[in-house]
């Protein structure tokens, strides 16, 4: 009777191991949404993907142009402030308004850069 228990225990462990291996294997129909193998872009027609790529490129170009415009505006304001401060050695009310505008422009630039 003492020999039957270890053999039974080994048999049960083997069956459990086989069940674990069988259940751990999965096919594509059992994958969770959002898994790396689940790519919705593959399901879209090629013309739609091209249209989305063109729209994204146009949007990025527009954002780039806006960023350049803001940079030029910030440069212009900072030069005006520098010249005015060199002449008067103090900030006038107009300079303070320019400084506020410069601060807002810089904040927009930083926000656009993601910081």
Distance, CA of 63 to CA of 102 (rounded, Å): 19
Q: What is the pLDDT of residue 100?
A: 95
Q: What is the pLDDT of residue 106?
A: 93
One digit per residue, the tens of pLDDT, for the chain of length 115 reads 555 666 777 777 777 776 677 666 655 555 666 555 556 666 788 899 999 999 999 999 999 999 999 999 999 999 999 999 999 888 889 999 999 999 999 999 999 888 6
Q: What is the pLDDT of residue 65?
A: 95
Distance, CA of 94 to CA of 10 (rounded, Å): 89
Q: What is the pLDDT of residue 112?
A: 86
DSSP label at 31?
Answer: P
Q: Is the dihedral of CA 96, 97, 103, 105 positive or negative?
A: negative
Q: What is the pLDDT of residue 36?
A: 57
Q: What is the pLDDT of residue 8?
A: 72
pTM confidence score: 0.56
Q: What is the pLDDT of residue 80?
A: 93
Distance, CA of 101 to CA of 115 (rounded, Å): 19
- The number of beta carbons lying within 10 Å of the beta carbon of residue 101 is 14
């Amino acid at each position: 009777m003492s020999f039957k228990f270890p053999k039974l225990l080994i048999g049960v462990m083997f069956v459990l191991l086989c069940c674990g291996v069988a259940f751990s294997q999965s096919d594509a129909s059992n994958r969770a949404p959002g898994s790396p193998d689940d790519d919705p872009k593959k399901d879209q027609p090629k013309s739609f993907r091209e249209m989305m790529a063109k729209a994204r490129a146009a949007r990025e170009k527009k954002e780039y142009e806006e960023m350049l415009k803001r940079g030029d505006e910030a440069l212009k304001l900072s030069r005006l402030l520098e010249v005015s401060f060199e002449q008067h050695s103090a900030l006038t009310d107009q300079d303070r308004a320019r400084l506020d505008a410069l601060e807002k422009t810089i904040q927009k630039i930083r926000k656009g850069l993601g910081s």
